[in-house]
Amino acid sequence: MYPSEAAPNYGVFVRRTEQLLLEAGHEVKRVVLSKQSSRVRKVAGYAHYVVSLFKETATFKPDVLYVHYASQNARPVLWLKKRFPNLRVVLNVHGTDVLPQTAAQAKYQPDVAKLMAKVEHVIAPSTFYEKTVKEKYGFTGDITVFPSGGIDTNIFRPAPNLGADFRKQHSIPENAFVVGYISRIDVGKGWDTLLEASEMANIPNLHLLVAGTGAEETLFREKAEVLKKPLTKLPMLTQPQMNAAFNAMDIFCFPSFQESLGLVGIEAMATATPIIVSDIPGVKDYVTDKNSWLFTAGEADQLALRLEKAATQPLAEYQAAALKTAERFDQHIVKNKLLAVFNSTNDKKEDSLI
């Protein structure tokens, strides 16, 4: 995964790790797959990606093969390890790599388990995923918790004027209590829970702001058509646009059923926007009762109650706590965790390949 003009947020955390390595003086050769629009293009793109991975590894001769996403990379990387036994592999796991949600994702698990036995170092996005990797695969090697590149606080920051302009641009009333959702419109993301909860919540001036696209777009439109609460629906936004959207929100809702970390929740906090989030393990590295409210994933009635609570109490303390939490995840603060994986003890600069 890697961002493109058409899909600016697709794998943005991969680009962020690349930038951190480049800034530290590493030489990086990038082999990536951008988002494709059809199944045929996906298959062709993946085939080209695998060929490029073999070619670049053979010609570039990297000291380190830095692999994002274990599932789709397991077989080609295992082949590379067989061809180049001394190749050092650092594996950055994400989401369904470790905890698949569908049968199609689960089919990769035997290969992931084999790959885990061959890698020198694992990077996990959260302490929950660190624990899961150790328990599920019996991994006893080196493992580092690194929050997916951290967040760029030069982009995500409190900016009330941007928020006010965003509301005007999208005809959202100044006095509306804006509950936001920025994510894929997909299975397991909880967007339907949010729509249901918004209908149940007794908040007269509630206004939903939803940004994203995905496989369940048609179902979303069907449910949105009968929604009685006002809703502004936008496509997936660039990061600067996301910053403006967060600043237009009173609350950011993060109703996923599963996340390895959930950087979008931290990005919202960086704009001093508190969050209402599913009580799932991946977010526990940054969620507290000072900066957010928890509810059971999929329970719309609980979410409705949390929305009502947030709408009827002062938010200043939550906003301050959210901002303070996000500061710990600034990319320039967390970057040393990543760099330590690649820096040798004598501070020799090593080549890296993503």
Q: Is 24 in the same domain as 137? A: yes
Question: Burial of 169 by CB count in 10 Å (0-12 exposed, 13-18 middle, 19+ buried)?
Answer: exposed
Q: Is 340 in the same domain as 252? A: no
Q: Is 42 in the same domain as 62? A: yes
What pLDDT shows up at residue 101?
86
Query: Which domain, by its residues, includes 228?
Result: 160-327
Q: Is 81 in the same domain as 178? A: no
Residue 147 confidence (pLDDT) above 70: yes
pLDDT digits (tens, 9 = 90+) for 192-214: 999 999 999 999 999 999 999 99
Residue 4 confidence (pLDDT) above 90: no
Q: Is 222 in the same domain as 81? A: no
Q: Is 143 in the same domain as 181? A: no
Length reported for the chain: 354
Q: Is 280 in the same domain as 225? A: yes
Per the structure block, which two tokens stand in for 27? Answer: 């030489």
DSSP per-residue codes, 285-315: GT--TTTEEEE-TT-HHHHHHHHHHHHTS--
Q: Which amino acid is at 90?
A: V
Evaluate whether 158 touches 247 at the Cβ level (below 8 Å).
yes
**What gap in Å lies between CA 76 and CA 111, rounded to an integer?**
10
Q: Is 200 in the same domain as 311? A: yes
Query: Is 27 a member of any domain?
Result: yes
Residue 351 confidence (pLDDT) above 60: no
**What gap in Å lies between CA 309 and CA 302, rounded to an integer?**
11
Query: Is 7 a member of any domain?
Result: no
Count of structural domains within the chain: 2
Residue 348 confidence (pLDDT) above 60: no
Q: What is the CATH number of the domain that holds 217?
A: 3.40.50.2000
Q: Is 224 in the same domain as 336? A: no
Q: Which run of H or of E encompasses 77?
A: helix 70-83
